[in-house]
Amino acid sequence: MAKMRPKPAPPSDQLRIYEARLDKDGGVRRVRQVSEVEAIVLRKGGGNVVVCGDSIKHNRRLAQSIEQQASGRWKRHEPHASAGTDALPHCQPETRPPEGHTFYETNNLKAR
- Say what angle helices 56-71 and 36-44 make with each other, to 10 degrees: 50
With binding defined as CB under 8 A, does residue 95 bind another protein?
Answer: yes
Spatial separation of the C-alpha atoms in residues 90 and 98, rounded to whole Å: 14
Contact between 3 and another protein by CB under 8 A: the answer reads yes
Residue 110 in contact with another protein, rule: CB under 8 A: no
First-to-last C-alpha distance (Å) of the chain: 30
The residues with which 102 forms a beta bridge, in sequence order, are 49, 91
Query: According to CB under 8 A, which residues from 23 to 52 bind another protein?
Result: 23-26
Q: Examine residue 75 and tell whether it contacts another protein (CB under 8 A).
A: yes
Instruction: Report how many residues bind another protein under the rule CB under 8 A.
Output: 33
Closest to another protein by CB, 37 vs 46, is 46
Determine the Cα–Cα distance for residues 63 and 87; give it in Å rounded to an integer: 15
- Give the footprint of another protein on this chain (CB under 8 A): 1, 3-4, 7, 22-26, 56-57, 60, 75-84, 87, 89, 92, 94-96, 99, 101, 106, 108-109
